[in-house]
Structure 1
Amino acid sequence: MQPLNILYQDEHLVAVHKPSGLLVHRSALARGETEFLLQRLRDQLGKRVYPVHRLDRPTSGVMVFGLSSEAAALLSEGFSERQVEKRYLAVVRGKAPEQERLDYPLREEDGTRPKAEMPAMPAMTDIRRLDSVELPVQVDRYPVARYSLVEARPLTGRRHQIRRHLSRRGYPIIGDAKHGKSVHNRFFAEQLAAPRLLLAATYLAFDHPLLDKRIQLSCAVGETMKNLFEQFGWQGHLPLDSVRTPPIATPSALQAL
């Protein structure tokens, strides 16, 4: 089994590239599954790891784990208080707007209660079209098929937020079986060798909970998305694995700028 790609590690936390299709940990929805990111990372490092945030099973990209329960609790606090900057790349149907804030309240989807009983919670996602392509094929009812590469920055943390927001706006993510459109999903799977959800967490930035530095992590996309970007001429938007750890900007330091 190929080792997981470790993006960053110190004595308190570790960041890893989660492959698409891999569940983060065991759950009631994971009956019959035998492979999980948390167990693979634990075995690779030879020590316990503690989850801090989540990524959907089909989503790839950067994930952070604490190497102690204390570090994980401090990291989780930062995530819950929206002190973390996240960026995703998504391939969507249609020509998405150049830039827009999607502000649609969303009901939580936790599976424990009927959706009608779940309150709608505020949810905001900033999106920006990075590129687009027009293919001379009829996939749906139009004689040509248009697709866009979108950068999404969630400002809140609702379940499936990016997927649901883009779908509601009319630009569903390719490969999204629940919120997407099956005819486009089949076209990408059968004609473009892209049978997965085309959504990747490519950037994460946060203040280290125990050290005086900010962690800025960039994460490359997997082979499926990389190959697709090359087919569409989007190579210039391919992110690379990188780590930056500048000192945390204090109020006095900000005043000096």
Structure 2
Amino acid sequence: MTFTILYEDGEALVIDKPAGLPLDTPRAGGISLEDRLDELKFGFHRAPAPVHRLDRDTSGCLLLARNPKALKRFSAAFEARQVEKRYLGVVSGPIEGEGGTIELSLSKISSAKEGWRMIVAKKGKPAITHWRKLDEKNGLTLVEFRPETGRTHQIRVHAAHAFGHSLLGDPIYGDGRGARRTLLHAAGLTVTREGKEPIVAAAPLPADFAALGFSDG
């Protein structure tokens, strides 16, 4: 497994995270990004640290900070919603409308039988996702998502509730069929910086999206 570098300067790296690679070591064991960070030093003394999270199945733009000061500033930017995030997802059915905003608060629940998941709950944490329909093919829909907040599984839960169809391949909020993974891709990331050029990165459309006949454009 090799990493494609989408952006690089003295304080930041953006990598195209492969689908299937978790950020932390799984309970069942196995390789994770944590095990590979030393490979991303590129001559720096410290290994870079992830600033935000992507689900194991989600591919695309992941920002890494190359020093503690940058990590603190980038983390604050995410917290203050000063980051533009663009995702692409394949919804497992047709959807009505061309675009809109999903505003559904989310809360975490867990059970011994099913493990943990996120649910829509009035008393949950606010979650806002803007969306736009890009294409339809063979009963599937390619959707652009621009989350305003960064709740766990936000796009996955919002898609399932708002459209009546989960993302293709989602085993938690859908039936897990149709794809080997949940088809969600972090296609773009922009982080503004005071006194510096913004970090701007774009990750190419993955092969499993293209195999369904979709293109990003």
**TM-score, normalised with respect to structure 1:** 0.74
Aligned match of 2:94:
95
Aligned match of 2:63:
64
- TM-superposition CA deviations, 1:159-194 (whole Å, max 9, x none): 100000000111310010000134xx1xx2xxxxx3
Aligned match of 1:217:
201
Distance 1:92 1:114 in 2: 19
1:176 corresponds to 2:160? no
8 Å contact kept, 1:3–1:44 = no
8 Å contact kept, 1:109–1:159 = no
1:162 corresponds to 2:158? no
In proportion to residue count, which structure has more helix?
1
Change (3 A) 1:15 1:115: closer
8 Å contact kept, 1:19–1:222 = no
8 Å contact kept, 1:106–1:121 = yes
1:198 corresponds to 2:183? yes
Aligned match of 2:4:
5
Distance 1:226 1:41 in 2: 29
Change (3 A) 1:39 1:98: same
In the alignment, residue 88 of structure 1 is paired with which amino acid?
Y
Q: CA deviation at 1:123?
A: 0.9
Q: CA deviation at 1:94?
A: 2.1
**TM-score, normalised with respect to structure 2:** 0.86
Aligned match of 1:150:
143
1:175 is paired with a residue whose SS is: coil
Distance 1:110 1:67 in 2: 35
Q: CA deviation at 1:109?
A: 5.5
Aligned match of 1:128:
132
Residue correspondences, number = 207
Change (3 A) 1:155 1:103: same
8 Å contact kept, 2:84–2:190 = yes
Q: CA deviation at 1:108?
A: 3.7
**Structure 1 runs, 4 residues or longer, greater than 4 Å off:** 109-116
Q: Which ranges of structure 1 fall in alignment gaps of 5 or more residues?
A: 135-145, 189-193, 239-257
Change (3 A) 1:114 1:158: closer
Pick the structure with greater CA Rg.
Answer: 1
1:56 is paired with a residue whose SS is: coil
8 Å contact kept, 1:18–1:60 = yes
In the alignment, residue 200 of structure 1 is paired with which amino acid?
H
In the alignment, residue 52 of structure 2 is paired with which amino acid?
H
In the alignment, residue 124 of structure 2 is paired with which amino acid?
A
% identical aligned pairs: 33
2:135 is paired with a residue whose SS is: strand
Aligned match of 1:139:
none
Distance 1:110 1:7 in 2: 36
Change (3 A) 1:42 1:226: farther
- TM-superposition CA deviations, 1:195-233 (whole Å, max 9, x none): 111110000001136x511122111132222222xxx3x
In proportion to residue count, which structure has more strand?
2
8 Å contact kept, 1:38–1:51 = no
Distance 1:45 1:176 in 2: 33
Q: CA deviation at 1:50?
A: 1.4
